[in-house]
């Protein structure tokens, strides 16, 4: 009997809503195109540890709305494991994989490109709540994180209003302020602090003056969104200095809103409270936008593997699904579109 060609699919780096929708789309279309599809567990770790499964129609059904990833994920990089690349190549040979579809963020896709350079046929699909992958307008998971953050801000507004408080919400985003900007805009926040715009002493003083002025005008509450990567006077707040981010040693961020809240309370004498949204942004069912984007990316990835266009990544440009060379995204970070930020800024406390 003739053996079917085989492809692998894996999810690497931090999880996000919409991964299962992409696994379903790519898995089902590849199966219908005549491939056997191997689900590799926990990113590259699955190839190092021989942890995988043969996916079928049942396993990939009924998961379009499910958060997380049925395949599991990790930030393990074969480049940081002794003999890692050779072990991966050996496993790919044993599994007879023609190519591997990698669902990853900036770190995992950069790693994917480095593995491609070592002879592994890779196709990338961008996913990250941070939306910081260059060459694509949006990545899978971002819109759901924005929705979650917006709902949290809406809830905080009602309690801020009741208690006449300044309310800060810290959101994720690593070194970019995409979630903060979009959620802040959608909520009508009174200030959005992002890593892309340095928080100088003067800017901090100016913010405090505007908060006091707003109070004097009779508006007794304020909402401030703080991206976790915001630096206070040029310094980020780091929780852990030796992160395990894929193929990097990126530090774990967090805590900047707490520090800022204390400064703001001291400088303004306004009662201030701080919340941190944390991993809630990574969980839950994907919104419709992420499901459709994930499905379109998954279908395109199957076309790319049929055309053997390895070393490419699916991308969204305007309303078009295209593919771009992974080489273009390596070790780059897409910072916030400042035109969008300036729209949100028009509604800041004045
Ligand atoms: O990249 C996604 C992300 O959630 C970032 O927003 C956050 O800084 C980081 O991952 C947290 O990483 P970990 O899951 O390793 O704690």
Bridge partners for 270 per DSSP: none
In a domain, 350, yes or no: no
Q: Is 270 found in the same domain as 311?
A: no
pLDDT at 244 over 60: no
> Helix crossing, 142-163 with 178-187: angle to 10°?
50
Asked which of 226, 259, 283 is the last residue of a domain, the reply is: 283
Q: Examine residue 336 and state whether it is found in any structural domain, yes or no.
A: no
pLDDT value at position 242?
55
Residues 123 and 199 in one domain: no
Query: Distance from the CA of 174 to the center of ligand 1, in angstroms?
Result: 7
Indicate whether 323 belongs to any domain: yes
Per-residue model confidence as pLDDT tens digits over 316-328: 999 999 999 999 9
Q: 39 Cβ partners below 8 Å, 6+ apart?
A: 8, 9, 10, 23, 27, 52, 53, 54, 55, 59, 70, 71
- What range defines the domain where residue 162 resides? 143-283
> Residue 168 forms beta bridges with which residues?
224, 274
CA of 253, closest atom in ligand 1: 8
Taken in order 153, 154, 156, 162, is the CA torsion positive or negative?
positive
19 and 129 belong to one structural domain: yes
CA distances to 7, 151, 323, 333 from 135, in Å:
25, 29, 9, 10
The structure tokens listed for 141 are 């998971």
Pocket flag, ligand 1, residue 282 (CB < 6 Å): yes
Mean pLDDT taken over the chain: 96
Q: Which atom of ligand 1 is nearest to the CA of 75?
A: 15
The reported pLDDT for the residue numbered 250 is 80
CATH of the domain at 64: 3.40.50.450
Residue 232 pLDDT greater than 70, yes or no:
yes
Instruction: Look at residue 233 in the predicted model and tell me its pLDDT.
Output: 86
- Are 75 and 15 contacting, i.e. CB atoms less than 8 angstroms apart? no
What does the pLDDT look like over 94-105, one tens digit per residue?
999 999 999 999
Contact criterion met (CB below 8 Å) for 9 and 35: no
Q: Is residue 1 part of a domain?
A: no
The whole-number pLDDT of residue 37 equals 98
The DSSP H or E segment spanning 343 is helix 338-345
How far apart, in whole angstroms, are the C-alpha atoms of residue 170 and residue 136?
Answer: 25
Please indicate, yes or no, whether residues 84 and 16 belong to a single structural domain of this protein: yes
> How far apart are the C-alpha atoms of 279 and 17, rounded to whole Å?
12
**Per-residue confidence (pLDDT) for residue 2, from 0 to 100:** 82
The verdict on residue 343 lying in a domain is no
With a pLDDT cut of 90, the percent of the chain lying above it is: 93
The last residue of a domain, from among 250, 283, 316: 283
Continuous segment of H or E residues that includes residue 181:
helix 178-187
Residue 342 within a domain: no
Q: Is residue 312 part of a domain?
A: yes
pLDDT band at 235 (very low <50, low <70, confident <90, very high): confident
When pLDDT is averaged across residues 107-120 and rounded to a whole number, the result is: 95
Identify the pLDDT of residue 218.
96
Q: Cα angle at 132 between 77 and 51, to 5 degrees?
A: 30
14 lines ligand 1 (CB under 6 A): yes
Query: Is the per-residue pLDDT at 315 higher than 90?
Result: yes
How far, in Å, from the CA of 243 to the mean position of ligand 1? 10
Q: 122 near 102, Cβ under 8 Å?
A: yes
What sections of 97-177 are H helices per DSSP? 106-117, 142-163
* pLDDT band with cut points at 50, 70 and 90 for residue 241: low
pLDDT at 240 over 90: no
129-138, 170-179, 240-249, range with the lowest pLDDT: 240-249
Tell me how far the alpha carbon of residue 211 lies from the centroid of ligand 1, in angstroms. Answer: 31
- Render pLDDT for 16-39 as a digit per residue (tens, 0 to 9): 999 999 999 999 999 999 999 999
The reply to whether 264 and 175 lie within a common domain is yes
Task: Give start and end residues of each alpha helix (H) in 217-287.
Answer: 256-268
What's the 290 CA to ligand 1 centre distance in angstroms? 18
Q: Is residue 227 lining ligand 1, measured as CB closer than 6 Å?
A: no
What residue has token string 């499905």?
Answer: 295
Q: Does residue 132 share a domain with residue 31?
A: yes
Among residues 283, 305, 338, the one where a domain terminates is: 283
Q: Are 293 and 140 in contact (CB under 8 A)?
A: yes
Considering the domain architecture, whether residues 135 and 44 belong to the same structural domain is answered as yes
Q: Which mutation among 170, 172, 226 tests ligand 1's pocket best, with the greatest number of atoms within 8 A of CB? A: 172
Residues 295 and 235 in one domain: no
Whether 111 is covered by a domain: the verdict is: yes
Ligand 1 atom with the smallest distance to the CA of 174 is: 8
Please state the rounded mean pLDDT for residues 165-178. 98
Q: Are residues 131 and 149 in the same domain?
A: no
Do 230 and 320 fall within a single domain? no
Same domain, 219 and 264: yes
Structural domain count, the chain: 2
Looking at the fold, whether 208 and 173 belong to one and the same domain comes out as yes
Edge-first strand listing for the sheet containing 36-40: 52-55, 36-40, 6-11, 97-104, 122-126, 312-317, 320-325
Which pLDDT value is given to residue 189? 98
Domain CATH number, residue 272? 3.40.50.460
Query: Active-site positions?
Result: 130
Pocket of ligand 1 contains residue 127 by CB under 6 Å? no
């Amino acid at each position: 009997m003739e053996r079917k060609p085989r492809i692998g699919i894996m999810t690497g780096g931090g999880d996000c809503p919409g991964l299962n929708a992409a696994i379903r789309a790519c898995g089902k279309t590849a199966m219908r195109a005549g491939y056997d599809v191997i689900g590799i567990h926990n990113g590259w770790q699955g190839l190092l540890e021989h942890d995988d499964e043969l996916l079928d129609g049942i396993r990939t059904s009924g998961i379009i709305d499910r958060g997380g990833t049925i395949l599991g994920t990790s930030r393990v990089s074969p480049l940081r494991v002794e003999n890692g690349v050779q072990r991966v190549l050996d496993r790919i040979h044993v599994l007879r994989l023609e190519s591997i579809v990698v669902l990853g963020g900036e770190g995992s896709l950069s790693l994917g490109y480095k593995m491609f350079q070592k002879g592994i046929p890779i196709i990338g699909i961008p996913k990250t709540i941070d939306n910081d992958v260059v060459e694509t307008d949006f990545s899978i998971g971002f819109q759901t994180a924005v929705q979650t953050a917006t709902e949290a801000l809406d809830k905080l507004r009602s309690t801020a209003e009741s208690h006449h408080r300044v309310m800060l919400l810290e959101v994720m985003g690593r070194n970019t302020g995409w979630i903060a900007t979009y959620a802040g805009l959608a909520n009508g926040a009174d200030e959005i602090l992002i890593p892309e715009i340095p928080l100088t002493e003067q800017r901090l003083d100016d913010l405090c003056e505007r908060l006091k002025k707003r109070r004097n005008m009779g508006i007794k509450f304020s909402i401030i969104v703080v991206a976790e990567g915001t630096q206070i006077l040029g310094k980020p707040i780091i929780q852990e200095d030796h992160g395990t981010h894929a193929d990097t040693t990126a530090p774990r961020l967090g805590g900047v809103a707490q520090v800022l809240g204390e400064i703001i309370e001291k400088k303004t004498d306004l009662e201030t409270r701080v919340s941190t949204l944390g991993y809630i942004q990574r969980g839950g069912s994907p919104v419709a936008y992420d499901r459709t984007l994930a499905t379109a990316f998954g279908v395109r990835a199957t076309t790319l593997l049929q055309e053997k266009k390895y070393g490419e990544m699916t991308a969204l440009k305007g309303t078009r699904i295209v593919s771009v060379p992974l080489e273009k995204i390596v070790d780059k970070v897409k910072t916030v579109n400042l035109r969008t930020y300036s729209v949100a800024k028009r509604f800041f406390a004045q």
